[in-house]
Structure 1
Amino acid sequence: MTTPPALLIAGIGTRDERHAAAFQAFVRELAARHPDLPVAGGLTGPGSHPLSDAVTRLVGEGVTRFAVVPMTLIPAAPPRDGIAAALAQEAERHADASFASARPLGPHRTLLSLLERRLDEALGNRPRLPSDRAETTVLLVGDGSPLPEANAEVHRAARLLWEGRGFAGVEVAFASLAAPDVASGLDRCAKLGARRVVVLPYFLFEGDALERVRQQAEGWGLAYPEVEVVSADVIGPARELADLVMDRYEEVADTSERAGFSAEAHAFAHPDAHADVR
């Protein structure tokens, strides 16, 4: 029997220690749930818990094949940046290792269900009438990216969240790097007639970005008391999120077994080989 590849969970680098700690706690929990599978995780770029340390540790334990699951909701960056570039560097550092990467996590139906749960929790998690949702507008807040394609994925998630769930509407805002910001997003909701708005962060883990979004929403709500503004929680390290990561792992592991890991390693060592490494 062929030994399965290790699971390498890759996140975008951050100087936000709370976010980094939440990411690493999620990795540890996933490893504990799958003791027979080599599991490690790390972040690209600056900050703690670097991806290179996770790869080095597993290579030291004899791992030569990695199935990589990006902990991102949207395509994070062009191939020369972010996770793809970090994996290319690891392929160069560890010539005997091979890497195959899964798709971003969002907007998967599992995540949409978790977002819906966060909405219900924010609204009190009590039995509600259909009219309650019909009178509620959702402001889905993404991280924001300089890439229009990445921001478009947040709009796609908003549309999928709105379909069939009975909310008055689902609008989009961004925490940084893209327009509209939270205040402008709430302005739009109010102009569309909203009297209750749930500000729903499209983030995997808590951190400074979440606090900024909440502060901006609270400030806007104080200025416009005629609109009820409610802040929801992040997706968080729910069991369903862990299951989705494992689904992505199995998908890329099975596909790469059929195609061969050596071709994937070449793609990461030479990012120009694919326009979209996912």
Structure 2
Amino acid sequence: MTAEAATPVPESLDDEAVLLVGHGSRRERSNEQVRELAAALEDRLGLPVDAGFLELAEPSISDAIAGLAGTVSTISVVQLSLFGASHVKTDVPVIIQEARAEHDGVTIHNGSHLGVHPAMVDVLDDRVSDVEAELGVDRGGDDVAVVVCARGSSDPDANADAHKLSRLLQEGRAFTRVETAFVGVTEPELPDALHDLSRHRPDAVVVVPYMLGDGVLTGRVRDQTAEFDAEYPYVTAGAGDPLGTDTRLLDVLGDRWQEARTDSVDMSCDTCKYKVELDGYEEDVGGARATLRALAHKQSHADREDVADEPHAHDAPSKHVAVCTNQTCAAMGAPAVLERLRQEARDCDARVTRTSCLGQCGDGPNVAVYPDGVWYQGVTADDATRIVSSHVERDRIVSDIDTQLL
């Protein structure tokens, strides 16, 4: 399982550019890794590749698209995310949809995340080999177990892909077992997975952090592995390096670019918690809910990498007001409603943003207040004033406007 061939580059790229989207971090080194990959991908593809960030770094995705829109007519967005969770499924698509409305003369393709790819398995295999060499063990003669440790997500689809990568790493290789663990959010967490492995008494345990950058989370993986190594003297344990800027990532990014520019992105809709009802995630079903969460997240998410025990933080406004400005709602007066809401909420602890269709065409203009999950329908500019003064400022639903609860 190798990925040696360079991505084939088609002709006629003079009017096309790529935007590589990273999460963004307060650690400038992490942001610089995204820019390094963008530069390397530009050399690989032979066309302009810029870097943009979801949050905490500049330029933002919107600003990066605006910068490219003045020079090309086609932009393909490629996401530097390991798994397809909420950033990939909701946050970035909302931003791209807004950009399409602002740059209607530019075609903007939305690409997928890195995901499960042969090159990613190859990188993992090499990271394990590096640790085996450090520990002085050989999977061919020693009992070597591996733990692939991912970030962990509230999206079961993303967590399932982590398990799939672990299984692919085990196939055809002489590891006694390959387990999956997570830093947080979901189970099993790394210490529990390591303790379970100790019962099998392997000669060595190799932990590989399945992360792009070398930050707080990878440091936590190393610390927990060292604690395990000290607690179980009959097992030799060591942790490897993250993915970093390994050149094989370019093979994956090149494939994702090809999928994006040809509108052939294949997402896992059959196991997407926003599209199908999965046990334990019933409240997440529904595209409108996902859109509203994405709009709120876009304004509120902040990195906690400076805090030792918590890698993410949310400093959200108390209210997020989303106004549908799709064609039908726009014709019914949504732009005036949006402007009035922004004027009235100027001094409130609230964000007012536009959104694409909320699936209630014909009942607009539609205004959704998050996190309350209240939709107002048939809203006028005068209604907007009352929504702010009553609901946003005093948590009192305006009862004489048609409403719907999410």
**What amino acid sits opposite 2:47 in the alignment?**
L
1:44-69 CA-to-partner distances (Å, cap 9, x unmatched) read: 13344422232122123x22311121
1:92-137 CA-to-partner distances (Å, cap 9, x unmatched) read: 33232222223321210111011101111111189946223xx111
Instruction: Indicate yes or no: 2:91 matched with 1:96.
Output: no
Note the C-alpha offset of 1:249: 1.1
- In the aligned structure 1, how far is the partner of 2:241 from the partner of 2:95? 30
Instruction: Indicate yes or no: 2:41 matched with 1:30.
Output: yes
Equivalent pair of 2:119/2:251 in contact (CA under 8 Å): no
Instruction: Indicate yes or no: 2:125 matched with 1:106.
Output: no
- In the aligned structure 2, how far is the partner of 1:83 from the partner of 1:227? 43
Structure number with the higher helix fraction is 1
Task: Pick closer, same or farther for the CA change 1:181–1:65 going to 2, 3 Å.
Answer: same
- In the aligned structure 2, how far is the partner of 1:56 from the partner of 1:8? 11
Q: Aligned to 2:181, which of 159, 163, 173? A: 173
Instruction: Indicate yes or no: 2:92 matched with 1:83.
Output: yes
Instruction: Indicate yes or no: 2:25 matched with 1:17.
Output: no
* Higher RCO (CA < 8 A, seq sep 6+): 1
Q: Aligned to 1:188, which of 178, 191, 196? A: 196
Equivalent pair of 1:11/1:83 in contact (CA under 8 Å): no
Task: Pick closer, same or farther for the CA change 1:46–1:271 going to 2, 3 Å.
Answer: farther
Tell me the residue number matched to 1:164.
Answer: 172
Equivalent pair of 1:43/1:49 in contact (CA under 8 Å): yes
Tell me the residue number matched to 1:152.
Answer: 160
- In the aligned structure 2, how far is the partner of 1:49 from the partner of 1:218? 38
**Aligned partner of residue 86 in structure 2, secondary structure:** coil
1:131-174 CA-to-partner distances (Å, cap 9, x unmatched) read: 23xx1111100111111111111011111111111111111111
**What amino acid sits opposite 1:224 in the alignment?**
Y
Tell me the residue number matched to 2:51.
Answer: 41
The unaligned stretches of length 5 or more in structure 1 are: 257-265, 274-278
Rg larger in structure: 2
**Aligned partner of residue 29 in structure 2, secondary structure:** helix
**What amino acid sits opposite 1:90 in the alignment?**
A
The unaligned stretches of length 5 or more in structure 2 are: 1-10, 265-325, 327-354, 360-406
Tell me the residue number matched to 1:276.
Answer: none
Task: Pick closer, same or farther for the CA change 1:131–1:172 going to 2, 3 Å.
Answer: same
Note the C-alpha offset of 1:89: 2.7
TM-score (norm: length of structure 2): 0.58
Alignment size in residue pairs: 258
Task: Pick closer, same or farther for the CA change 1:82–1:195 going to 2, 3 Å.
Answer: farther
Tell me the residue number matched to 1:120.
Answer: 129
Note the C-alpha offset of 1:229: 0.9
Equivalent pair of 2:54/2:60 in contact (CA under 8 Å): yes
TM-score (norm: length of structure 1): 0.82
**Aligned partner of residue 130 in structure 1, secondary structure:** coil
- In the aligned structure 1, how far is the partner of 2:141 from the partner of 2:22? 39
**Aligned partner of residue 148 in structure 2, secondary structure:** strand
Give percent identity, aligned residues only: 28
**Aligned partner of residue 9 in structure 1, secondary structure:** strand
Note the C-alpha offset of 1:10: 1.3
